Structure 1
């Protein structure tokens, strides 16, 4: 960093994954999940971690009974300002927040006059009094106080004087941060910057924050616009979790602030540039906790973020990565991928072979043969850019490096609808696999939740002398795409496996029969595991 680094302004990051992110459809954190995620955020260097709403549900109440051991972040509770018609001392919500084991408290208050009248059913003056008393109570109790000015930008456009009065009231009462919220997510960047700049004439930018929702796909852009307007705190979530379309994605914001100008030289974050390579792992760990596949197309951290399948692009990348990469992939813990596809040339093939540790001369005729094989396969429906293990097997087979571990004699899958012991209809799936290892014939049968599950269980039930090599295999994702629609439709199946080390790989199968396509992908996955393990 240059000598001017000491003059950089501090920029604070506030994470609300455990509170606002928990409102995402399909997301349900356990207490263990919350503790794990808080630790990840703390390791990253986030300044504030909002743990939830104590008193709103038993889980959040338990979480705030004893705050998690954080080294850097300030653990923050969330709740409403006091209700109209009672004092802060007699408000049970305020009492719950003050009893929470948290260093800071974020109060939420309406700042749009329409919302005050319709949602709260009180007067504008009562709402301001609630802000004053709530902030004062937290400060008196020795807590850092923040105010989320809900619906601030809609409120400012409707009645700027009142929205501004809410912000000024909170700051005057002792709030460390006054956070301007684009609650409905409909404000655009130029409006955000203009309004934040106007507010900063009354509340200093060093006390202003931005809380943006992503309903127009502008949450990240709006957060940066607010910083340009003077705000010095950004609120967001990991992977952009949040209700409706989500919140500002801190996984996109953090590397932008650290690696892009003018932010990199103007602002100082608690997240260190040396810590940034943890970002991809943290993003993917969250997805694993939520039992969902990471977004391949996520900026910075997605598997496709630094991938190309065009031959001329790959050729340029091999000469100079900057030709098609805006930042080095390793700076955010990601990696470069030159994909093999029907659009690829020799550059892609050679780069992918190099990545998997295969050394071959560019003039070797097998490279051309492999390229033609890939193109023929993809013409049939295979897609190797999403199936790294199947490509490696294909490449090594062309190069003569894959042993024949076993032969499949036949397999059979049966699906039937029948009565169970209680007299209810159930769908039962059963698979039988007959295979040959050396001179030994092995037959295995298994029942499963569906035909593919039954086939997977039967195939891995008894692999003879190779059984120990596959004992830690786990099927973690199964995806199907039907194309060339009609009665002769072709099905592509992608299956993702993991092993005890945490490594994952994906295989592909294609057929007009979904069971056959699935079986191809299963066979590739097991063969890849045996090859990787060095089985003889």
Structure 2
């Protein structure tokens, strides 16, 4: 059986120190429960002595059932000159009721002198007494050797002495920390190998990403002998973040052959990554390795042609292994292979002439400013129309916009729309807080009687980009509209020198796509 690497997640503590992230107690409970089911071995819940919110988390966590993970409370060594029995930080850890305590202590002499303002001997006593105090009370102690690698480079004998004190006092894990995130993989490997010669306890690794090497440094440490990896989901963390477990885990399992998660759970990785981002209210980068929306997206025609023959030509792993999926983009760089792939996804068949015509059409549209990578609903409508199998559900005769602004009053807008559904003519008007909102309201008002599905969709995002800024107010603009219903979301695009016309075009596509999907769902239900 593959050798086990233990996963220690610190998203709830280190991850919440990232700029722009603030997790409520309920947020932390949700994330912890999901990580437990995912298969994390340790979940660090927070620093109870430093944050009342973290203490509340532990109080609630005691009443929950945990299936896989062990909860850890975080803290520091006792204060210089203090007594462990009276240290509020350590007493708070005991109060949480956890079975695991993670204690950080100084291992860099610079910090001992300048941060703690104490002696090297006193710092060793602080480590020894703190770890011993918690071990005597039945806790598993994880000792985080803060700034170990910087300390090792500056004064290796003292840094190793700190580790020996923690180990001899009964710590179950000795975790080596690259707290400033400035080390290189070779430095990590050399130091870990030296530690293994003098410490007989299991080792762990905790890295930060200030040199964008946190994942590489973590992997180097594991290959040198560490058997616990600490990190956060999506690499959240202070400054540039922590080691990203969403990259560490698949590299360990798929590339190095270690066992991290329960069998089959790696396929949940993408869902877990996006779940945590959603709870933390953070937009996930599209290009995030393994789990990003673009991680397995192919755009160049040559690439797509090769992927259709053998996916390994341009994919380092099958995306399904981490719960992601392959995407083929269509743009001015696309060739026939891209279109055939997209058409097949939609159940369409395009002959050679149709494919060639669509490729040239897309290239011309993108020259005008259209972009279909972020507007796949508009692309699907384009392909369906090219196939000859698409029938437009309605036909617009015209629209008119009236905007009125009176002194001391906010501007208002009214839209008038005339359209045809079959042989019926609909002529209606609606108001809105702006011209696009008025158009949306008028179009809905005209269509809802014929197509009830329109009531179930809503616009969720509206973006405008100026394409030729030097043209000032006469510039061409691209409008992207995102819409969704109860089950799906989709994006559409419009381009014009008139922002209202560009918005109208994207709005029409959004409505048409909603009706297209509603029809497809009815057909599937009927089948």
Output the TM-score relative to the length of structure 2.
0.91
**Residue of 369, 373, 376 corresponding to 1:385:** 373
Distance 2:401 2:85 in 1: 71
Distance 2:411 2:295 in 1: 39
Contact 1:84 1:130 in 2 (8 A): yes
Match of 1:21 in 2: 15
What are the residue-to-residue correspondences of 1:253-268 with 2, within 5 Å? Answer: 253-260=248-255, 263-264=256-257, 267-268=258-259
Q: Per-residue deviation at 1:498?
A: 3.0
Match of 2:457 in 1: 473
Distance 2:397 2:124 in 1: 75
Q: Per-residue deviation at 1:399?
A: 2.5
Contact 2:46 2:74 in 1 (8 A): yes
Contact 1:429 1:454 in 2 (8 A): no
Q: Per-residue deviation at 1:415?
A: 9.1
Q: Per-residue deviation at 1:169?
A: 1.2
Distance 1:77 1:432 in 2: 59
Contact 2:84 2:90 in 1 (8 A): yes
Q: Per-residue deviation at 1:326?
A: 0.9
Change (3 A) 1:468 1:81: farther
What are the residue-to-residue correspondences of 1:96-107 with 2, within 5 Å? Answer: 96-107=92-103
**Residue of 181, 186, 189 corresponding to 1:190:** 186
Distance 1:287 1:408 in 2: 44
Change (3 A) 1:51 1:491: farther
What are the residue-to-residue correspondences of 1:30-109 with 2, within 5 Å? Answer: 30-67=24-61, 68-109=64-105
Is there any run of 5+ residues in structure 1 with no aligned partner, and where? 1-5, 421-427
Distance 1:122 1:328 in 2: 54
Is it true that 1:491 corresponds to 2:477 in the alignment?
yes
Change (3 A) 1:179 1:284: same
Contact 1:408 1:434 in 2 (8 A): no
Give deviations 1:410-465, integer Å, cap 9, x for gaps: 25385979868xxxxxxx564433333531222222237xx766765665567432
Change (3 A) 1:115 1:534: same
Aligned Cα root-mean-square deviation (Å) = 2.4
Match of 1:314 in 2: 304
Q: Per-residue deviation at 1:467?
A: 6.3
Contact 1:460 1:467 in 2 (8 A): no
What are the residue-to-residue correspondences of 1:493-532 with 2, within 5 Å? Answer: 493-501=479-487, 503-532=488-517
Distance 2:338 2:249 in 1: 31
Q: Per-residue deviation at 1:512?
A: 3.4
Contact 1:17 1:50 in 2 (8 A): yes
**Residue of 220, 224, 228 corresponding to 2:223:** 228
SS in 2 for 1:385: coil
Distance 2:152 2:411 in 1: 60
Is it true that 1:164 corresponds to 2:160 in the alignment?
yes
Q: Per-residue deviation at 1:476?
A: 4.1
Match of 2:525 in 1: none
Change (3 A) 1:429 1:352: farther
Distance 1:335 1:378 in 2: 26
What are the residue-to-residue correspondences of 1:351-390 with 2, within 5 Å? Answer: 351-358=341-348, 360-363=349-352, 365-390=353-378
Distance 2:500 2:87 in 1: 61
Contact 1:393 1:402 in 2 (8 A): no
Change (3 A) 1:520 1:118: farther
Match of 2:427 in 1: 441
SS in 2 for 1:340: coil
Is there any run of 5+ residues in structure 2 with no aligned partner, and where? 523-527
Give deviations 1:203-243, integer Å, cap 9, x for gaps: 23x62111111111111001001112211111111111111
Q: Larger deviation: 460-469 or 304-313?
A: 460-469
Distance 2:96 2:229 in 1: 24
Is it true that 1:464 corresponds to 2:464 in the alignment?
no
Match of 1:409 in 2: 398
Contact 2:448 2:454 in 1 (8 A): no
Distance 2:465 2:127 in 1: 53
